[in-house]
Structure 1
């Protein structure tokens, strides 16, 4: 067992260092809620009712709603400031007869184990409780919850049993119990005889949980017959190291964005997809044609460059062989000059023409 609390029992001037252990544990077959179709586990997540987002445990605080509907949020720091005088101490308040403690008040049971150095004061307290046939009424704080409790002896160990507070016990308010009901003496005698016929000393070990036993047998039978299935592997969480889920979510988000934009333009999503496919094919053909054109253009450019270089070489060779070929070019230029002059004459006035003829 593992201790859940450590402190001391204080009665009078005596302190008994002890450790607290849970004395009971429920025995049950642990069953999970699963999806009937595929066997997937049903998970419960803490979700904010306002934004629908899952909330981490570190971001959760306790809240109290007032009668006016206002919310008071209490943090761990607020609880740490509350006084708990019995936080590490089991304070003995009084010793009372055991029969005066109503069993309805009993809540949960713990064992008290003494430290090795406190064996003698522990035995002293245990002996005093046994000799006086009384229980000690105490106060204790477990997991920041202050409770009333009693200390009593069970075999050789001191047992702590927490109690409900008086206002936590409901009153039995059944008007039918106030009705006058007549019971004949013969009926009461017969009922008493039945009680005596079933009278015995209580031995809880002779009883068993028949339901749990039958459930365990049912599960064992299904296992032996092969009526089982492999548990379904849960899907990868978002943000995994492989990043697969992020890629899928990104593609889905992009597709939704495209569909939304097309819908805003009045285009059908399917038509847009078909148009996108056709556009992709046209773009592919256009790219191929462009590539071929670029290749052909480059070849033509190289051929033109080569022809030009050849022509230049031929012209240079011809010029070396026939240097007189430049003269006709000068004559042609001389012939062109009068054309300019006649153009000027056409534009000149008669007086200017007469002056020019006298001068010539």
Structure 2
């Protein structure tokens, strides 16, 4: 398993009276190209300074901490040791609150995924039991966990026999769409053609998909240096006749010599 060697969290997963010691490792990694802030006139790097509002001078990082503003406007200074002393059970225990069907989890809630690994010999058997039970029931455990002083909801489920702890947004953090969706009804013919098109389109192999941003950025940089022009991809145009566009798409995906449907 390609995971970091250093755990970001060590504690317990508990369900009922069963407890298993685990360590959490990031399950994903950042991928992309970093751009720097520079002065547009000469390209020199921009530096950000942290200035004390009261003293008007730059403050060293080691002298910066957190603060909480009370309702009466008073600021309470909180050191790292204070935050580590938060009386939250979820700092060290992922206590299972209940179980939900895996397909019942709303993806809009998903934040970040972590792999949970059994910590020590004592965690091996209960870990395997929880993973196997969740797999058999096709369910995910719902719990709470505190990472870096922030408590989050979490879903726990098995992926390739490994428990995943997926942090979730709290329900109040999700905005409802209200009335931004289309109110235009679709016809039965449109629905049948769109369903046929969906059925004929190939499945997606995620392993074959790649990020094109780095390549596009290199083309942009080369064009800027040489003074050349970039060839922009064509933008789609709205279909004037939706039925005609669907029928043409169905015949195109069917391929030569094949009958749609």
Same fold per TM (> 0.5)? yes
The 8 Å contact of residues 126 and 153 in structure 1, kept in 2 or not, is answered as yes
Partner SS state of residue 193, structure 1: helix
Structure 1 residue 59: Cα displacement = 2.9
1:93 equivalenced with 2:104 (yes/no)? no
Q: RMSD value over aligned CA atoms?
A: 2.4
Partner SS state of residue 34, structure 2: coil
Partner SS state of residue 90, structure 2: coil
Structure 1 residue 136: Cα displacement = 0.8
TM-score (norm 1): 0.55
TM-score (norm 2): 0.74
1:156 equivalenced with 2:158 (yes/no)? no
| Aligned residue number for residue 212 of structure 2 | 210
The 8 Å contact of residues 63 and 71 in structure 1, kept in 2 or not, is answered as no
Partner SS state of residue 125, structure 1: helix
In 2, distance between residues paired with 1:218 and 1:175? 35
In 1, distance between residues paired with 2:92 and 2:174? 27
Partner SS state of residue 214, structure 2: helix
| Aligned residue number for residue 37 of structure 2 | 33
In 1, distance between residues paired with 2:157 and 2:215? 33
Structure 1 residue 71: Cα displacement = 3.8
| Aligned residue number for residue 130 of structure 1 | 135
The 8 Å contact of residues 21 and 120 in structure 2, kept in 1 or not, is answered as no
- Stretches of structure 1 lacking an aligned partner (at least 5 in a row): 226-360
| Aligned pairs (5 A) from 1:206-245 | 206-216=208-218
| Aligned pairs (5 A) from 1:1-360 | 1=4, 2-36=6-40, 38-65=42-69, 70-76=73-79, 78-117=82-121, 118-174=123-179, 177=182, 179=183, 181-200=184-203, 202-216=204-218
In 2, distance between residues paired with 1:184 and 1:132? 39
In 2, distance between residues paired with 1:80 and 1:17? 20
Structure 1 residue 63: Cα displacement = 3.3
In 2, distance between residues paired with 1:59 and 1:37? 33
Judging changes above 3 Å, is the alpha-carbon distance between structure 1 residues 121 and 216 closer, same or farther for their aligned structure 2 residues? farther
In 1, distance between residues paired with 2:181 and 2:211? 34
Instruction: Name the larger-Rg structure.
Output: 1
In 2, distance between residues paired with 1:18 and 1:7? 6
The 8 Å contact of residues 69 and 75 in structure 2, kept in 1 or not, is answered as yes
- Cα deviation, 1:250-288, whole Å, max 9, x if unaligned, reads xxxxxxxxxxxxxxxxxxxxxxxxxxxxxxxxxxxxxxx
Write 1 or 2 for the structure with the bigger share of helix: 1
The 8 Å contact of residues 29 and 216 in structure 1, kept in 2 or not, is answered as no
- Stretches of structure 2 lacking an aligned partner (at least 5 in a row): 227-261
In 2, distance between residues paired with 1:31 and 1:175? 34
Higher relative contact order (CA 8 A, sep 6+): 2
In 1, distance between residues paired with 2:152 and 2:185? 43
In 2, distance between residues paired with 1:175 and 1:218? 35
Partner SS state of residue 215, structure 2: helix
In 2, distance between residues paired with 1:101 and 1:93? 15
Write 1 or 2 for the structure with the bigger share of strand: 2
